[in-house]
Structure formats: structure tokens, C-alpha cells
Structure 1
């Protein structure tokens, strides 16, 4: 856990994302493991036991198994998406999908007979480039955006290879995210590839990780 950090819960129409500072206890990546068989380990057994006695938490965690178990009840739904877990050395992410989302889109628009993805395309076409840019923001992009902002805030001169190692993804994926952020004018590289630095242009996020 980093000093001054905090948990974030982001709510969207089609999903809920939970961000928690601090990676896996043993340094492994949850996306490379089976969440159903990951053993529960406590960083502070005394504190966990104390809160368990106050009935504020379990003595041993079982959150991932409960989440997966609840979702499996609906795995026969056409729009089923299993919950997703990912982590790196300093962060842990959980994405829980709204399985009613596609049905709600149609229900709230009785005259719409198109598939949900076609509806989104039409909305983008009618509302212009701003909405088009936002529509391109996927769940993976949002996670990568937060991670990249944090890495740039900590080390402006960081390169794609170092980002790849910190984020636990391929350098090709990192380069794709950097291009997307650059194209959206959210970040910019100043100076050369070797001696240059990254700068965050996104007013909403600039300095964000320094404030929390």
C-alpha cells in the first residue's frame, strides 16, 4: 500500500471498476492465476483477526470466489461477461459487468431494433468527434490510462519498455496506448526518445496522483 493512496470505485452504465493500490501479496499477477484457487493471505493477521471479531470483515478473504460464484449463475445469458481481475506490482483492478446493460438499452428505447453496438455507432455519428473519442475508451484503455498517468507523474522520463515491465503487459500494447493518448492530446512527448520526458496534458488528471 502506498502512503496517501486510496481505493477508487468507478461506476459506468455497463460495468463497475474497482481500483485498489497494492499488488498481490506475493508479487504474482492475478491475470496469470486462477482466482478460484488463489490462497487468501493477510498482510496483517492481527488486524484482520481484530476486525473479524468486530464482525467488520472475514478472517480469511473470499471476495473473488463470491463474485465469480454469483456471476456463474447467469453464464447462460447471451450478453454474459465474467468478472475480470488484473494486477501489477502496485495496483489491483476488478471489473464487474452489468449483465442487464444490453437489455436496458433496448428496453429504454422501444423503437430501436438494432443491435446495441449499432446504436452506439449511430449516436457517435450524430454527436461528433467528442463523443467519438469517448466511445473509443474501453475498459482496458481506462485501466492503462490510469497506470500510464501514474508512471509519468512518478518518472516523466520513463520509456515504453519500463512501462511494459511496470504494467505487466507487452511493449506493443503500451505503445498502442501511448499513441491513443497522444492522438487524443492527453499526453505529449517533449524532447528526443532517449532524453525526452512525457507530459500530461489532460487537465482532469494532471497532478491527480500527487493530490491523493
Structure 2
């Protein structure tokens, strides 16, 4: 038999006799992709053979059926190989998971049986019910713990994205989307619309000069929509910007990392995170790279190789959260994020991002161009000038020198900060004697002091 020559693996196991390990392997296969147990074969694949009587096979099947829950009944056949009888027991992937043997849950990984963790058991149970953790009622929180204003904000986003309108109250809309079950909010509802501090959604982000020297940081425990915006803003604050002066009123500018790629990573972190894990998500910004780490590995046995080659069927750990983000227009298409991130980085001439499973979590690393890589790039047209890696104040002064009547709103838009931040920097520049206002607020202009 060809399978015997290939040896033991993900879907095959050799046993010399029928024993409890056979039942454990049957259960492991049932909780994975199915497989066959060959009885009468040793570990090396040598044919030993088994002696059978007319009741042997039925007795073995009964033992398997009685020891497993839900009951598993394998297909059983015999074969004559090298003049000896062997038994082949085959089990398909079981539709109702997880299957247990004497209250123990096992799953096949590579060529061995592994005891399933509590998370793996819970995941298999949820997948069987075509559900996910965020659909379940949150017994620790109630309607007082979520914000009606935040629900209304999400409704406005949905109405704009889908070009529709709701006549329902915010709570009625929660019911329609499955965010309330049995008059109790779900984990998804709490995470999406938490009123104040949310202990489940902790995220730490920092700007580092060295692995131990942190110069700025932010700690978030809020609703998921707010976290997307605040994380993106924090990262953007620490990016260098390149301005290309073309003579046009609005100058082209580019950050040293593609903003759309960063936002895509942040969205993926928040939507696909395992919120049952008590660890925080972490973002670290270094001089030469950015690291994004999420607790909880890839979902549903997805491998990194499948992820980066786009060779997988898109599934999500948090179906309710993912659905709401899609309804609000924050996610365009399930399963397209990694390809989009890779393309955005490639289009900007950056190294390919690294995607890896690490420390029981998932990590993405983006790399900045080195100085050498930057200087070797073709320059813009000779009539263009480039202003690179300036502080906010220097960027403001450069823009004002190009257009002395530029407004605070225009400065904020071109630099990528808030109008309030521009107002604060103007006050500092005036105090330092580097900037002077001539004329009225509406009809006047700026003068840069050399």
C-alpha cells in the first residue's frame, strides 16, 4: 500500500495492536482533517500483521464508540499485505467538534497527537456552532457600560457607507445586528461601544530610541473604534514626512511608511485579536522599523505561509466585530489586508514586511528605507525641491515661506496634525521670535524671521 511507504504523518498512524492509543489517534484525526490508523504495522512501516476472529472488528468499533463523545464510528476494512492481515480504520473530519475520549480532547498536529488547550477546545466548539466568542453574552457588563453616543456615531457611519437610514433606536439597532442576546449585551457590543475604561482591549504603543529607551508612549483601554483612530494618530505623529515642492498651491507629501498600510495593520490587529487573552497588544516604533504584536496566534490552523501567499479561505475569529467594521466602511473586503499591506510597501520601495507567529501571538514588522537606499533612488524632476524629515515647526515655516497667507487649517491638513497643535506651535514660534503676523487675522500674512 502506497500510504505505508510514506510513513506516519498528519493523516496516518501505525499501530502493532489495537489498544487505547488507537482510540486516541481516531479522536485526534476526527478533531483535525481526518486520517487512517493501520493496525498490524510497526513504527518503521514493517508489516507485522494481526490475528482476528469474527468478532474482533465489531468489538473494536464498539470500544471506540463507547469511549468517545460525541460517538465516533470509523470505517473499518482489512487488507492482505505481504501475506499478512492488517486492519485499516479510517475516520473523516468530524462535523461536531471537539470530540473527546474519556473526557480528554486531542488533535492531530504533524505526526503526533496533542492535548488540546482550553482555547482550542472553545474555538472548535464555536466553529461547530458557526459562531464566535464576541456573539456571547457578557455577564460582567450591562447597558450602563456602553455609550449610546458611540452607538449613534457607528450608525451614522453605516448609513453613510451603505446609503441607508435607520428609524430604530440605538438599542433596537444593537438587537438587529445581534449585539444583544436575551436582553444582555454581548462581548462584541461591549468592546465596540464601551463607555469608559475597557479592561479587555488594552493596547500599548511607544516610540523607542533603543529597545529600552522609550521617548513617548500611549496606553489605550477604550472602545475599538476609538482605538483605531487614536493608534493611527499616535503612529502618524512619529513618522517623518517628505514634502515635494512643485510650484502648485498644494504640495505633494509622503510619509516614510505608507499610512494606508499602517491603518490596515491597526485594523487587522483590532478586528482579529484574541480578546480572551489577558495580554495587551503592543506597537513599537524604532528608528529603522515598526513592530506590531497581537496576543493569540493565527485563527483556524492558518499558517504564515498560507497567509503571505494568499492561499487560504478567509475566516475571522471575531465575526460580529468584523461585520460591524465592514458595515461602517472600515474594512472593504475580508482576507485582503495582507496583500494590500505588501503592495503598499512595495509601491513605496520598502522591504517586504515580515509576518510571523511569535510568543503565542502574531507579529508584523515594517522596515524603513535606509539612508543609502534613499540616496540611491532616482530624484524628482530637477525643478522640484524636497523637504525631508523636518520637525513640525520647521515644516510650518517651510510652508509659510512658500505661501505667506496660508491658514492654520491648511497647515494642519498639509502637515497631518490637528489645528489645535498648529495653534500651539505658532505661539511657540512667535515667542521664540521666528514668526511674526502682519495685518489682521483675515487679511494679513505671515513673515518668517531669519
Identify whether the pair has TM-score above 0.5, normalized to the shorter chain: no
The TM-score with structure 1 as length reference comes to 0.40
Give the number of the structure whose residues are more often strand, by fraction. Answer: 2
The TM-score with structure 2 as length reference comes to 0.20
Asked which structure has the greater RCO (Cα within 8 Å, sep 6+), the reply is 1
